[in-house]
Chains A and B, each alone.
Chain A
């Protein structure tokens, strides 16, 4: 194995035996009990990846080191898109297959079993990426293993397929005011009115020096299916990849690992090899769409781009540097026809320059000033994402081609609030999210991008930033093809229609009743209205993966509808639970439970919640450990309003042991400042579970928002899906009109006339000539960018339709009789090529004869135009009704 961990290494038999991961992690009792008292001993991930789908088995092993029965609670992540389809509990005596039940019922069964002294296990979902495993009544000094089977997809972007398996739930910022009742979970955060289940998604955090004995083993076989993969990049340096006859094998021998980052493997797949594909199994299908060889020709239309930069305390360290560079790259990529603004937010929102509060033209000077001001943005307070998104959306309201870019790690607890607001208020604005960390809240950021028609980009280290930003820059544009859907009668797909962006694969999964032929057709629409069609061969395959994955996708959509407050019966918890039970997937409203009926464990039960490491990117926790050097820069001035230090009456001006925290007996370091309570404050950044002291929506005191006494936006009638009949909540946002002139912005220049002072007659104010406004953008040409498909593309434009439209376009521009002559001839030709008979086109021929007998300008041009368009449209859509005598009516 060479020094670089990402190179392939062809092993001989001896090496293979040395590195081979044993398929069972040892028999019971053979593993030495580790020194820690945390119950989770090991995790193993085994399975295979074929095509862009994977099937894995995750095994978690718990051990009870105490002398009384133990209930272990573990709050852990799974890939959000993966379907959990089976659950097995293996105790030292028995193997019990778990059942999927409605969540309340499963919890009751678990609690009843545990009260009776039986061994039981319960797996629940809190967020699409956060799950809780509760294993109860583990007998003293015994093991229990739980196994879960997962089916999930890989994502494909910019020529690389990515397999991502999260391994840690990071600490999240929890806004809102705390509830006064009991917490609903075993985590460390308090439930608030913004995050009612905060205590279910917040495991305790281990300090960096804690000896973390969790053993992680990975053994995944990758079947490349004849495609040639490049060298994979992996996120963990100890991960081995080696060649096998059918593809790759990825493995990690079980070593004690600090689970502080996601397991990510990226396989470069040269684009020419990737084809759009359609796979079907028992009526459940998955459609992978690649925009192969589609090119956008023509000038770029002006865009309005607002970037939201997260500068909260959790972004400290390399993440802040990375985020600033990302914003810098994006600003660099704008042209002087675009307009932009950057807002940085933590628990307040600020502009880069407080005097420049509107969208600015992206001239060279503005971009330079913005980049300069970016350099001073440092991490600070808590993460209030929702006010920032609201501000960004308000700023972009009414713009022609608006884009909102959110750069954050997404570690907040109030995801349902955010998604609900975006669903109801941000229609028409594409939101692109960039997640920066080794363990990002992918479920929130991906969901935001999906509901708004944007895309989520993951950046796990500074080296990746440049290439990810390169890809993102190309995509901050209207999609190449929008409203792409499959033309299959009787098919329901989730999502209902997708947008195809440059360099990205889009996936649609669905269910079709009835017979499917050898080919299916997919149609999408370019910006100029042309339809592009692709015919794909149908591949039949077996197995349950596609069904489970579609069920998971559909259940995520339904849950999203529930969180967004839709009132239709399909989005109610009971209906969602029934759907999930029917297809056997875990969701928020169902849970797996396994009870060993024949076991009995006497004695009172002790409860322990598994503590986890903070992710690699959260430098805050590293700073707080004693081994780290003291931070002498006093951050008190920049502390957010929350959390406030209580002025305790007993607090004096000398370093006290309580306030100085855990530095106890060690002599105060030389850099401590007299009045040293605050300089030696280890909590220089607020801890992530602090409830916001100044709730920006409640206390109008300290925050810059004028708390508008508006009505509750969630009561707005416009949000009711029944109000707008036929509105599909999951349809893509309406495409912005590329021809609309951008709204005039406020220029810096102010009218000069009025004198503000009246200091007597000495003064005579002479108005200055107004300074020249910034150079206006070059006038927008009326030609829209055209989409062209190259020779290697599967996408074919509807040429014939285009001809008719082109002829109509000619007619629109026609004013003289000669123009009309040409236009009508072209129109008749196009319709004939379309398949119509000449005798059906009598009215047009009549008109043509009339025009040919005229000379000079045509006076009734507009009336003719109207009639012609109406008649041609009715002919195209319903030939039977378009009769000759309809023409002049």
Chain B
């Protein structure tokens, strides 16, 4: 069983061997993402991953055949609905026939692991979910601060810290303002 990256390489090898190309003899490149594979699984075009280790999924030769078949039909210009109509429910044998490959597939030239999938308990309907659920706490907004500062009699500055934009450096601003006020004051007091 191989992981996603190795599946991509294996697929690339097989596509090169089959001589697939698009357009003017351009080599087909294939870069699957986990999300893409999950989407194909939702549509029923790809089997579920055979094995999981944490969140890493492991795939087998049948998965490779399935994605190659999808790719083959895409290169031929089919829309995904038609691909679904053609491929839904196909067995490994018929997929291999469609692609012109023979089973079993040639060994992948990529690192693969032989993992025995764990057997779950057979009476799954008696199984209860085991997640531990700490109670989440919601963020509570800080209490609103309304401040009024009077640097000079007759000059009042009202600060609503709630409505100030994020990242506004209030202390710097106030420092600058106090310098300015001092300057103006001293300037004004000079004749």
- Taking CB atoms and an 8 Å cut-off, the chain A residues in 103-141 that contact chain B are 103-104, 124, 126
Residues B52 and A204 in contact, CB atoms below 8 Å apart = no
Q: Known: A755-B147, A768-B148. Contact between A646 and B129, CB under 8 A?
A: no
In the bound complex, residues from chain A placing their C-beta under 8 Å from that of B8 are 648, 650
In the bound complex, residues from chain A placing their C-beta under 8 Å from that of B168 are none
Closest 7 A/B residue pairs (Cβ): A204-B44, A705-B136, A209-B81, A181-B118, A658-B31, A664-B74, A608-B89
A615 to B137, CA, bound (A): 34
Residues A662 and B91 in contact, CB atoms below 8 Å apart = no
The listed residue (B29, B49, B136) touching A390 by CB distance below 8 A is B136
In the bound complex, residues from chain B placing their C-beta under 8 Å from that of A714 are 132-133
The listed residue (A182, A195, A611, A748) touching B129 by CB distance below 8 A is A195
In the bound complex, residues from chain A placing their C-beta under 8 Å from that of B136 are 349, 387, 390-391, 696-697, 703, 705-708
Which residue of chain B is the closest to A206 with respect to CB atoms?
Answer: B84
The listed residue (A194, A205, A762) touching B182 by CB distance below 8 A is A762
In the bound complex, residues from chain B placing their C-beta under 8 Å from that of A745 are none
What is the interface residue range for chain B against chain A? 35 or more
Q: List 29 A-B contacts (CB under 8 A).
A: A37-B88, A177-B55, A179-B52, A183-B48, A190-B49, A190-B52, A200-B124, A205-B42, A207-B43, A207-B81, A626-B80, A645-B33, A646-B34, A657-B30, A658-B32, A658-B33, A662-B83, A664-B75, A689-B42, A697-B133, A706-B136, A706-B137, A707-B136, A755-B149, A759-B175, A763-B178, A764-B150, A765-B148, A768-B146
In the bound complex, residues from chain B placing their C-beta under 8 Å from that of A609 are 44, 89
Residues A194 and B34 in contact, CB atoms below 8 Å apart = no
A776 to B134, CA, bound (A): 36
- Taking CB atoms and an 8 Å cut-off, the chain A residues in 372-410 that contact chain B are 386-387, 390-391, 394-395
In the bound complex, residues from chain A placing their C-beta under 8 Å from that of B118 are 180-182
A784 contacts the other chain (CB 8 A): no
A569 contacts the other chain (CB 8 A): no
Residues B41 and A689 in contact, CB atoms below 8 Å apart = yes
Residues B79 and A209 in contact, CB atoms below 8 Å apart = yes
Residues A188 and B44 in contact, CB atoms below 8 Å apart = yes
B167 contacts the other chain (CB 8 A): no
- Taking CB atoms and an 8 Å cut-off, the chain B residues in 126-140 that contact chain A are 126-140
The listed residue (B5, B22, B146, B156) touching A752 by CB distance below 8 A is B146
In the bound complex, residues from chain A placing their C-beta under 8 Å from that of B132 are 697, 712, 714
- Flag B12-32 by CB within 8 Å of A: 1 or 0 each: 000000000010000011111
Residues B29 and A687 in contact, CB atoms below 8 Å apart = no
- Taking CB atoms and an 8 Å cut-off, the chain A residues in 750-797 that contact chain B are 750, 752, 755-757, 759-760, 762-768, 771
In the bound complex, residues from chain B placing their C-beta under 8 Å from that of A178 are 52, 55
B144 contacts the other chain (CB 8 A): yes
Q: Known: A193-B130, A210-B81, A646-B4. Contact between A182 and B44, CB under 8 A?
A: no
- Flag A607-643 by CB within 8 Å of B: 1 or 0 each: 0110100000000000011110000000000000001
In the bound complex, residues from chain B placing their C-beta under 8 Å from that of A662 are 74, 79-80, 83
Given A704-B138, A750-B143, output 6 extra A-B contacts at Cβ < 8 Å: A104-B123, A204-B44, A662-B79, A712-B132, A712-B133, A766-B150
In the bound complex, residues from chain B placing their C-beta under 8 Å from that of A211 are 85
Q: Known: A104-B123, A609-B44, A765-B149. Contact between A414 and B129, CB under 8 A?
A: yes
For residue B186, give the distance in angstroms from its CB to the closest CB of chain A.
Answer: 12
Residues A565 and B124 in contact, CB atoms below 8 Å apart = no
What is the interface residue range for chain A against chain B? 35 or more
Residues B51 and A180 in contact, CB atoms below 8 Å apart = yes
B109 contacts the other chain (CB 8 A): no
- Flag B35-55 by CB within 8 Å of A: 1 or 0 each: 110110111100011011111
A489 to B119, CA, bound (A): 51
For residue A636, give the distance in angstroms from its CB to the closest CB of chain B.
Answer: 12
In the bound complex, residues from chain A placing their C-beta under 8 Å from that of B51 are 180-181
Residues A705 and B137 in contact, CB atoms below 8 Å apart = yes
Which residue of chain A is the closest to B171 with respect to CB atoms?
Answer: A757
Q: Could you tell me the dominant secondary structure of chain A's interface residues?
A: loop
Q: Known: A37-B88, A565-B128, A688-B42. Contact between A181 and B120, CB under 8 A?
A: yes
The listed residue (A204, A656, A752) touching B29 by CB distance below 8 A is A656
Which residue of chain B is the closest to A666 with respect to CB atoms?
Answer: B77
Which residue of chain B is the closest to A703 with respect to CB atoms?
Answer: B136
In the bound complex, residues from chain B placing their C-beta under 8 Å from that of A358 are 140
- Flag A696-735 by CB within 8 Å of B: 1 or 0 each: 1100000111111110111000000000000000000000
For residue A393, give the distance in angstroms from its CB to the closest CB of chain B.
Answer: 9
Residues A656 and B31 in contact, CB atoms below 8 Å apart = yes
A2 contacts the other chain (CB 8 A): no
B101 contacts the other chain (CB 8 A): no
A195 to B137, CA, bound (A): 23
A766 to B147, CA, bound (A): 8
A206 to B83, CA, bound (A): 11
A757 to B43, CA, bound (A): 61
Most A-side CB within 10 Å, residue of B52, B77, B156: B52
The listed residue (A183, A395, A687, A705) touching B35 by CB distance below 8 A is A687
- Taking CB atoms and an 8 Å cut-off, the chain B residues in 58-109 that contact chain A are 74-75, 77, 79-85, 88-89, 91
A157 to B131, CA, bound (A): 37
Which residue of chain A is the closest to B170 with respect to CB atoms?
Answer: A757
- Flag A405-433 by CB within 8 Å of B: 1 or 0 each: 00000000010110001000000000000
In the bound complex, residues from chain B placing their C-beta under 8 Å from that of A184 are 120, 124
In the bound complex, residues from chain B placing their C-beta under 8 Å from that of A349 are 136, 138
B181 contacts the other chain (CB 8 A): yes
In the bound complex, residues from chain B placing their C-beta under 8 Å from that of A36 are 85
In the bound complex, residues from chain B placing their C-beta under 8 Å from that of A624 are 39
Residues A417 and B129 in contact, CB atoms below 8 Å apart = yes
For residue A40, give the distance in angstroms from its CB to the closest CB of chain B.
Answer: 12
Residues A625 and B119 in contact, CB atoms below 8 Å apart = no
Residues B139 and A704 in contact, CB atoms below 8 Å apart = yes
Residues A657 and B89 in contact, CB atoms below 8 Å apart = no
A36 to B4, CA, bound (A): 31
Residues A665 and B75 in contact, CB atoms below 8 Å apart = yes
For residue A467, give the distance in angstroms from its CB to the closest CB of chain B.
Answer: 34
In the bound complex, residues from chain B placing their C-beta under 8 Å from that of A709 are 134
Residues B88 and A204 in contact, CB atoms below 8 Å apart = yes
For residue A575, give the distance in angstroms from its CB to the closest CB of chain B.
Answer: 12
B122 contacts the other chain (CB 8 A): yes
In the bound complex, residues from chain B placing their C-beta under 8 Å from that of A183 are 48
Residues A417 and B131 in contact, CB atoms below 8 Å apart = yes
Residues A760 and B178 in contact, CB atoms below 8 Å apart = yes
For residue A619, give the distance in angstroms from its CB to the closest CB of chain B.
Answer: 16
In the bound complex, residues from chain A placing their C-beta under 8 Å from that of B89 are 37-38, 606, 608-609
B188 contacts the other chain (CB 8 A): no
For residue A669, give the distance in angstroms from its CB to the closest CB of chain B.
Answer: 15
A469 to B16, CA, bound (A): 61
For residue B161, give the distance in angstroms from its CB to the closest CB of chain A.
Answer: 8
Residues B123 and A188 in contact, CB atoms below 8 Å apart = no
Residues A763 and B30 in contact, CB atoms below 8 Å apart = no
For residue A425, give the distance in angstroms from its CB to the closest CB of chain B.
Answer: 8
Q: Known: A182-B119, A767-B148. Contact between A355 and B135, CB under 8 A?
A: no
A354 contacts the other chain (CB 8 A): yes
Residues A661 and B131 in contact, CB atoms below 8 Å apart = no
In the bound complex, residues from chain A placing their C-beta under 8 Å from that of B4 are 646
A357 contacts the other chain (CB 8 A): yes
- Taking CB atoms and an 8 Å cut-off, the chain A residues in 168-199 that contact chain B are 171, 176-184, 188-191, 193-197, 199
Residues B88 and A611 in contact, CB atoms below 8 Å apart = yes
Residues B129 and A710 in contact, CB atoms below 8 Å apart = no
In the bound complex, residues from chain B placing their C-beta under 8 Å from that of A491 are none
The listed residue (B5, B124, B128) touching A416 by CB distance below 8 A is B128
Which residue of chain B is the closest to A608 with respect to CB atoms?
Answer: B89
The listed residue (A176, A608, A646) touching B33 by CB distance below 8 A is A646
In the bound complex, residues from chain A placing their C-beta under 8 Å from that of B125 are 103, 124, 126, 197, 573, 588-589
A104 to B127, CA, bound (A): 13
A18 contacts the other chain (CB 8 A): no
A766 to B149, CA, bound (A): 6
In the bound complex, residues from chain B placing their C-beta under 8 Å from that of A865 are none
